[in-house]
Structure 1
Amino acid sequence: MKRNGIRDVIYIHLNEKSQFVLSHGIEFREFLIVLHESINHMLLLKHRFDDGDFNMHTMLDYVPKKRIMKLGDDDVYTYGDFCWIDFEEMEGLDEVPGQVLAELLYLGHVKEPLKPPFYSYLRNSFAYLAHDDGWFNKIYYRDLTQFYHLLSQLIPMKLETLKPEKNLLGLKKKKTYPSVDEHLLLSLKKFMSEGVVLSVKDVMQNRYRIELPLWVIGDFSNMDDMYEEYEKNSKRPCDAKLIFDKKTREWKIRSN
């Protein structure tokens, strides 16, 4: 579901061994806000962006660093398939051998790598594979700490947009929340490895705290099935809560 143009349910299935995160509710625009400094250029494998440059060696479009934020402003959800891999230097892109190019084309077409999608020629940090961006995303991370950093910033971003507080006159006011401690999120690794929903939609708040419920719902690649399972599980007590203490302005986790 979307509210104010923002998805209010986040599903995460972490595959630590294969270094990818399958998700629903995390959009490219949000990914870019947090992690854009880790991206130099982007090689577009599946897209509809009309302001890319063409690389003659790979016969693929790419986005130079200076234009990446423009891509972030585009409605990539409407592309259908949106797949890319970052790369450091043009020289490396121009040296990609045929075998690697074949693997990249397969990656963009099937959203599955033939082998771990990290290449010495590209020196990439990510492989980003989405269908209806924000609905189904599969992102490979060379360094999974980047994912925890993304999540630590994403949760307060969602709250600021979806749950503005009201002042004494009842008018909504923009509220800034601190990032969630990444070590705290690491303690949710077991839940994320099983497949977990964190719901901003079902948030509870009072004068003292904000509580975001989490439900472990299992491994899904079909997000219609995932959402159906979430709706069923949301009627039972949650497995844990991510809690923001308004007085101390600190986050904590409470398991049920």
Structure 2
Amino acid sequence: MNSDSKIREVVQLKQNGNFKDVIYVHQNETLQYVMSYGLEFRDFSQNLPNPLNHLLMIKHQFDHGSFNMNTMMEYTNKKEVSKLAGDNIYSYGDFCWIDFEEVDGLDQLSGQELAEILYLGHTKQSLNSPFYSKLNNRFAYLAHDDGWFNKVYYRYTNDFYSMLGNSIPKKLLHQTGEKSLKRLLPSQKITGLPPIPTEVIYTIKEKIKEGVAISLEKTVKGRGNLKVPIWVMGDYMHMDSMYEDYQVRSSKQPYAHFVFDKKAKEWSLHIN
């Protein structure tokens, strides 16, 4: 495939939203961040074990919020976070923020700390730790074309695994057309799926540190179960390259499956 064809394919993929049918995650445990594809801010914010509080908006196009004079940036409160989750964040282009507990913490940030935060949003790299005691932030969320390229720093690793385990079943339920659960289970009405327990996700932790693709679009119906395939992919910075490689690898046997037992209503992991 030549470069022009690749560009057209990526543009079409973004326009029709098919990139949401695959979740790619790669965890850098040492630097405390996760690179992802297929997970949007809506997925992130609605599936954390504890809700977001305030967000300091580094790069955004959100029309609601308040202005802080010390940082010369806008911020949102807890109620506005839900409005933000309903916005078309993908259209923003760059979307970067860090959370914080109290507004007073913004007024205590030094010039050096503000410079680090601006650098974080501009380069999507941290000069020092992206976690500030004055803010007590749990995250630094750095996205371009939200859902296509996301880099999130996590103070607590369990927040990531919990969010991922909650997101997969919900995204599976919202699949439409030929990829929907109605296609797999035409005679059954499924209104909900339980989260994948954190301990089940942890069983592939070492592979997540290599980089894995979890394919919602290739979920299959087994005997009394649903099977969501997982392929080990490697480390990618460019998600168009990742998706191109996924298309090749997904034609082969997956490394493992998340398996939902319909009778027991429980998730497990099966390594092939």
TM-score with structure 1 setting the length: 0.94
Give the aligned CA root-mean-square deviation in angstroms: 2.0
1:219 matches 2:232: no
Q: 1:1-256, aligned counterparts within 5 Å?
A: 7-35=20-48, 37-162=50-175, 163-165=180-182, 170=186, 173-206=189-222, 208-256=224-272
State the number of aligned residues.
255
Report the AA paired with residue 97 of structure 2: W
Q: 1:8 to 1:172 in 2, by over 3 A?
A: farther
Secondary structure of 1:12 counterpart: strand
Instruction: Determine the C-alpha separation between the residues in 1 that align with 2:221 and 2:17.
Output: 19
Instruction: Determine the C-alpha separation between the residues in 2 that align with 1:102 and 1:130.
Output: 19
Report the AA paired with residue 199 of structure 1: S
Higher helix share: 2
Report the AA paired with residue 107 of structure 2: D
Once the two structures are superposed, residues 191-248 of structure 1 have per-residue CA deviations (whole angstroms, 9 ceiling, x without a partner) of 1011100000111014511011111111001000000010010111111111111111
Instruction: Determine the C-alpha separation between the residues in 1 that align with 2:248 and 2:19.
Output: 22
Once the two structures are superposed, residues 33-76 of structure 1 have per-residue CA deviations (whole angstroms, 9 ceiling, x without a partner) of 11284421000000001112111111011112221111111101
For structure 2, the residue ranges without an aligned partner over 5 or more in a row are 1-12
Q: 1:99 to 1:110 in 2, by over 3 A?
A: same
| Counterpart residue number, 2:9 | none
| Counterpart residue number, 2:6 | none
Report the AA paired with residue 193 of structure 1: K
Q: Percent identity?
A: 47
**In the TM superposition, what is the alpha-carbon distance from 1:4 to its structure 2 partner?**
7.8
Q: 1:100 to 1:4 in 2, by over 3 A?
A: closer
Report the AA paired with residue 222 of structure 1: H
For structure 1, the residue ranges without an aligned partner over 5 or more in a row are none
Instruction: Determine the C-alpha separation between the residues in 2 that align with 1:245 and 1:90.
Output: 46
Aligned structure 1 segments of 4 or more residues deviating by more than 4 angstroms: 1-6
Once the two structures are superposed, residues 65-102 of structure 1 have per-residue CA deviations (whole angstroms, 9 ceiling, x without a partner) of 22111111110100000000001101111110000000
Instruction: Determine the C-alpha separation between the residues in 2 that align with 1:81 and 1:174.
Output: 36
Higher strand share: 1
Secondary structure of 2:209 counterpart: helix
**In the TM superposition, what is the alpha-carbon distance from 1:171 to its structure 2 partner?**
7.3
Instruction: Determine the C-alpha separation between the residues in 1 that align with 2:149 and 2:38.
Output: 8
Instruction: Determine the C-alpha separation between the residues in 2 that align with 1:13 and 1:137.
Output: 11
Report the AA paired with residue 69 of structure 1: S
> Do 2:35 and 2:152's aligned partners in 1 also have CA atoms closer than 8 Å?
yes
Instruction: Determine the C-alpha separation between the residues in 1 that align with 2:17 and 2:35.
Output: 24
Instruction: Determine the C-alpha separation between the residues in 1 that align with 2:18 and 2:25.
Output: 20
Instruction: Determine the C-alpha separation between the residues in 1 that align with 2:121 and 2:238.
Output: 18
Q: 1:201 to 1:220 in 2, by over 3 A?
A: same
